[in-house]
Amino acid sequence: MALERYRAKRNFSTTPEPNPTAAGADDGHLFVVQKHDARRLHYDFRLELDGVLKSWAVTRGPSLVPGEKRLAVEVEDHPLEYGAFEGTIPKGEYGGGAVLLWDRGFWTPIGDPHAGLAKGHLEFELHGEKLQGRWMLVRMRPKPRDKHLNWLLIKSHDQYAREKDEADILEERPESVSTGRPIDEVAEDAPGWSKEGPIGAWAKKATRGAAFDPASLPGAKKAPTPSVVEPMLATLAETPPDGARWIHEVKLDGYRILARIADGRVRLITRGGLDWTGKFGPEIVEAFRALPVREAVIDGELVVETSGASNFSALQEALSEGRTDLLVYYAFDLPYLDGYDLTGTPLIRRKEALQAILGEDAGPLRFSGHFEESGEIVLRHACRLGLEGVISKDRDSPYRAGRGRSWLKCKCAARQEFVIGGFTVSTASAKSIGSLALGVYEQRALRYVGRVGTGFSAAVAQGLFQRLETIRSPTSPFADRLSADQARQIRYVRPELVAEVDFRAWTADGLLRHASFRGLREDKPAEEIVREEPRSEAQPKPGTHAMTLTHPDRLYWPDDGVTKEGLADYYAEVWSRMAPFVVERPLALLRCPDGINGQKFFQKHAWKGHGDAIMLARDPKEPGEPLIAIRDFDGLIDLVQSGALEIHPWGSTLADWERPETIVMDLDPGEGVAWESVIEAAREVRARLADRGLAAFVKTSGGKGLHVVSPLTPAADWPEVKAFTKSIADAMAADSPGRYVSTIAKAKRTGKILIDYLRNQRGMTAVAAYSTRARPGAAVSAPLEWDELGPGIGPAFFTVANTPARLASLRRDPWADFRAAAAPVGSGKRRRRKAA
């Protein structure tokens, strides 16, 4: 019944829109916004409820300005399949025109959504790629001639809100979140067709996977399905490798399993060659059988997740209790598919094929994604999240059996498998173990490495006691004679079982410190267990080789004669001073590939074909495209190569996204303001910051004004820092209304200086110290000593041409003490200042 109006309005023999037979399940929280260029351009706002998409046509689109009301006309419910729709509806049909998937994500109702809709006041939070935070839909009182119910879509005050004079999200982000295209490109498609193929087929592939032709892959060879595939293994490393050659996957904490699909059967094989198909229950097997493949070998890890992370102890518990419904299989490689051996195909292409056949259905089979950012950053985030570590893989590596250097593993904590050579009985229970005596093999001899006496639940301790009693041995399995203390109360066993153990470190005499039991590893034979030590071989680092510029003579500043190579030379001169302000921070760029007289565009996300030394940084709060960052000089030169003529960093680092360690007060003079007045404003900002316990440094903006910059100890979050800087700007405007404003409205700025504090909020940026500006003159944003401020040095005085000579002549760096002067926000007492 819910979709009758939807179906009645459409001729599905003509329109490509989905034609559902019934509403979907009623437990999802999808939201989508579709940009719809029909008779007039509008935005269709849809919230999943009761198995359908409740829909409103928002005539002017959503606004991020709190309190700004946007008319939202209630229209018919749409099917859930519509949430993937992007394409063209033929003209003459209902809603004829281009439809672009402008935003998507999930929504969280605040209170009972049914009651909210009935009452006419629905509050909710959006978690999308473009729209975030708290919103509300408010129903208007109907008028006699109204054909539809009219609502108002309103943004609430929160950290995602924007001021009225800030950028409009509709203009800032016009593209599709599905294909990245603008709507005029969608309009050029034949009706029902997108660049992903037919709309219906794309939606099907996105949810359930699709067949894949392995013959299209480089290196694929015709071959029968192998009866056995020996798995490819990773070598332990101290630090992850870096560079574009490597991709990084989260290290999973479960059983390594190769799934063999052939002759209508599914077999699940451990890395040791054991057939454990019957051990894991019917759910996983049926999921593999449902894949769109005839024959395949899939490599992955079987896990149980707790709190969003795989947990080996939870896996063992689930298996012991028969809870096979909790099992999840993360697939990460595809050595064989439908008559073709893919072991010679590059890894990244094998993963593309694997992802295609798995699709995006969040069932028990899932694709193991990867990260292309710096390996060290991926490892750092993995460790902060309590994960085991990362596996770094050469993106072009073939699939080769055994352990090699194409796959490297880095762990957040020391953990490995050990052979159980004996046990002691618990002092609390005669039928439980107290500790395990552990060893590793060295040249076929079992060497004692210590005991583990924690990490056992009562049930596990009892179960281990029962198993170990059955393999008791009258003699020690260890090659060396144990000391009296080591051998005390040990009951020896045949070295058949393997334990996984966390530990703090190795002692100088080769024993474990602070070990904790994780579980038995029955998938690994005892004779393969050796001491794991990371090889100290140095990994290649980006920036260790000379960068080669293409078209080095391209003029970026034609009137000033500054070429691409000249810009690279400038940055080579200033890099040591600039590096602390741009390294390992999210960056926004002003790119001018053809110079300042050509096309200009801001870019904060990575682009196709970016340089190998450019880092990709995943914003933990903003899923989607990665942001841009650099870690060294080669990264900066890659930015030069790409035509990045302005570099604007966040005030926080990749190590701590949410707590800024720099604030910037941008002094932007309106028409008719003398330069001396800007200098006075900078000194007043400095004094007010000093009153609040903060040091202040100054630099030219390279444009019209000055930047007063303060280093922070990263303690306060973004909202607190924004409120702090706003209080300073508002106080200056209130104390001297004839000189300063704190709002961006241009009508209020003539003859006054804008105290722009809005750089100090999450996702906003300010031009970096020593960055060039994409303006005539090739000016740079130059750090100064406070006593250098004067009428002789204007905002664009320092340039690519004169800054290197300036720095060479200085006896000290003007900002040498910048980081040492960091202090927390609000550490000083606030004093009221008299109006000038």
How do strand 433-442 and strand 414-425 relate by DSSP bridges? antiparallel
d(CA 596, CA 594): 7
Q: What is the DSSP string of 306-326?
A: ETTEE-HHHHHHHHHTT-GGG
Residue bearing tokens 């660049």? 195
Please confirm, yes or no, whether 393 is among the known catalytic residues. Answer: no
User: Is the separation of the CB atoms in 713 and 702 below 8 Å?
Assistant: no
d(CA 104, CA 129): 6
How do strand 193-194 and strand 365-367 relate by DSSP bridges? unpaired
Distances (CA, A) of 572 to 770, 794, 807: 11, 24, 12
Q: What is the DSSP string of 209-268?
A: -----GGGSTT-EE-PPPS--PPEEEEEBSS---STTEEEEEPP-SEEEEEEEETTEEEE
Residue type, 723: A
What is the gyration radius of the CA atoms in the chain, in angstroms? 31
- Give the angle subtended at the CA of 76 by the CAs of 71 and 79, to the nearest 5°: 120
User: Is the separation of the CB atoms in 384 and 429 below 8 Å?
Assistant: no
Name the token pair of 221. Answer: 């060879």
Residue type, 487: A
d(CA 327, CA 309): 13
Q: Which residues contact 581 (CB under 8 A, 6 or more apart)?
A: 649, 662, 768, 769, 770
Name the token pair of 591. Answer: 């790119």
User: Is the separation of the CB atoms in 134 and 110 below 8 Å?
Assistant: yes
Element (H, E) at 675: helix 675-691
Work out whether the CA dihedral 196, 198, 203, 205 comes out positive or negative.
negative
Neighbours of 328 (CB within 10 A): 22
The 3-state secondary structure of 697-759, one letter per residue: EEEECCCCCEEEEEEECCCCCHHHHHHHHHHHHHHHHHHCCCCEECCCCHHHCCCCEEEECCC
Strands (E), 550-684: 555-557, 562-563, 587-591, 601-603, 614-617, 627-630, 644-649, 662-669
User: Is the separation of the CB atoms in 464 and 553 below 8 Å?
Assistant: no
Q: Which of 556, 705, 579 is nearest to 631 (CA)?
A: 579
d(CA 6, CA 23): 11
What are the φ/ψ torsions at residue 434 (nearest 5 degrees)?
Answer: -105, -35
Neighbours of 483 (CB within 10 A): 9
Beta bridge partners of 341: 221, 336
Q: Which of 234, 280, 236 is nearest to 257 (CA)?
A: 280
Work out whether the CA dihedral 664, 669, 673, 674 comes out positive or negative.
positive
Question: Catalytic residue among 251, 351, 393, 699, which?
Answer: 251
d(CA 77, CA 24): 12
Q: What is the DSSP string of 112-171?
A: -HHHHHHHTEEEEEEEESS-EEEEEEEEPPPPTT-SS-EEEEEEPSSTT---TTSPPHHH
Catalytic residues: 251
